[in-house]
Each structure stands twice: as C-alpha cells, then as structure tokens.
Amino acid sequence: MRPCEASTPLHAARHWLPSIVACVALLAMACVGSRPPERSALLVDTNPFHGRSRNQIGPMTPKLPDGPSGSPSRFCVDHVSSPIDPSEDDDRLPAFEKSIGEVLRARGFEVVGAEALNETWKRVFEEAGDLFDRHTGEKDPERYQAARRAALAALHDERGCDFMMIPEIMAVSAAWNYGIVRWDGAVYPFEKGLLPGHDSYGYVGALSLHLNIYDLEGELVYFGTGGIQPTSELIGGFGKDVFEAVAVEELLRSDERNAEAIWLATDQMTDERPNAHRGAGERE
C-alpha cells in the first residue's frame, strides 16, 4: 500500500474515507470464513451490530446476565477470527485467544476453550446428518435450526457452558485529531513522525476486537468492542499529512495493546475492572 498524502484536513477525509470503507468491507467479509458456516450464520443473522464499530452503534448492550445462582458464568469461547491470515508457525492469534481466557478468568468467569467447543459442535452436526434438501440442493431450515439448537444444548449439557462467545478482530475506520486516534474505547497517539497541525483531522484504518456473546438459546445477549491498534502511522505533518501502512507482520504484536482491547470489550460484562488491570493509557 502506498503512503497517503493530504494537503488539507477536508481533502484527507474526502479522499481517503471511501478507500477506508471499501477496505473495511473487504476485510470484514474475510473474517467470517474462518469458522464453521453454521456459527458464522448465527453471528450474521442474529447480531445487528456485526461488522460495525462502537461509534456507529451508540450505547452498548447492558451488563451480561448472571450465570446460575452461586456459581460464576462459564463461557465456551470460539477461535478468534481475523482479516490477518497468519502462517502455521505464527503465534499471534493463539496468543490473543490465550489473553481472552486470562481476562475472562480475571473478571471471575470460567472458560471452556475453542478446541472443546469445536469438538462438541462438529460431533452434533455430524450426527444430524444431511441438512440439505435432496431435491433443491438448498439447506433445509428446519433441520438446520434443529441441529443448531442441539449443538447449543450440548455445550451446556456436556461442557457446562452458560454462554458462547464468538470473538472477531475486525478492520474498522478510526477518527484522529492532532496526532491522537480514538475509536472503540481506545485512545492512542501516533508513534512516528511529526505531529500534524492543530486543525488536522481525518480517518485511518484500525483493528478492533468485537465480542459477540450468545445464550444457549442462540440469542445475542452482549456485544462489546475494544480498539487494538491503527493500521497506519502518521510519518509527516504540518500542512501535508503523510501516512504509512503498518506491515501486516507487525500487527497484533503488542501483548499490552491486545490485552487492553480485551479489557475494553469486556468492561460492561462486570461492574468494574480489578484494580490490577486498569488501563495504563488514556481512555475515553
């Protein structure tokens, strides 16, 4: 990707926003294909917030419903999907998934990992047999819904789960002003180059964590977001703002930023964070 240049703030916003929106749409579609299609369908069909950033949807979903009386809620947590397609020896997404589990446990929840979730889900759908109409070749809605209900019930009966969490890393647009980027609860300064002029502002691409939580009836009960990092850096300012794309290999490398995004996305699941895990930087 070539560095982008803009001589005025208005020109920057007008010239680059369509490109950002197009990239966001393309990368958001890439995220969905990384998990079994029946769970992707659950995500897209039932979540009106899917693929949208916090500043597009307004107030967040209220505090997550409590689990069974006297015991912490237990989550079956799916693999995280991402527009980044890492190689087999790339540990970024496994590390991110580990951090999700650590934050949930620090908040007092119990966690069942993605391997156990997928083992149960796959077995139930295999036992359900052919879900397609032999005459039309289309998916049979009744058989499909029955299989999905059975899979959700099995997560409760076999894994003891109260909720299913589907985490996604999404490409979004983030607003910036005078060298500060603000989106989905995150507030970060650009780390390279000169500060822009006082009147400079616009949008850059960014990565955000989206957490979609369903009860075991398949109803969306919580949606949380947390900004991870911008995907471009400001490398020049003062009248001619110039940006440079962050190399894909450098995305999701900061354990601190990744963890802070998870804390942001789960902030409304409990009344407050444990004192030891309050954000280190400026927050909205």
Residue 112 within any structural domain of the chain: yes
Residue 228 within any structural domain of the chain: yes
pTM here is 0.75
Cα–Cα distance measured from residue 102 to residue 274, given in angstroms and rounded to the nearest whole number: 13
Q: How confident is the model over 249-263, as a mean pLDDT?
A: 95
Residue 85 within any structural domain of the chain: yes
Number of structural domains (the chain) is: 1
Structural domain including 15 reads 4-54+73-270
Residue 46 within any structural domain of the chain: yes
Estimate to the nearest angstrom the gap between the alpha carbon of 206 and the chain centroid.
Answer: 12
C-alpha distances (whole Å) from 91 to each of 98, 228, 252 are: 10, 17, 10
- Do residues 51 and 28 lie in contact, with contact meaning Cβ atoms separated by under 8 Å? yes
- Report DSSP letters for 202-257, one per residue: EEEEEEEEEEEEEETTS-EEEEEEEEEEESEEEEE-SSSEEEEEPPGGGTT--HHH
Residue 278 within any structural domain of the chain: no
Residue 214 within any structural domain of the chain: yes
Residue 115 within any structural domain of the chain: yes
> pLDDT tens digits, residue range 77-106?
999 999 887 776 789 999 999 999 999 999
> pLDDT tens digits, residue range 224-251?
999 999 998 877 655 566 788 999 999 9
Selection from 172, 199, 176 nearest residue 188 by Cα:
176
Residue 255 within any structural domain of the chain: yes
Neighbouring-strand partners of residue 132: 139
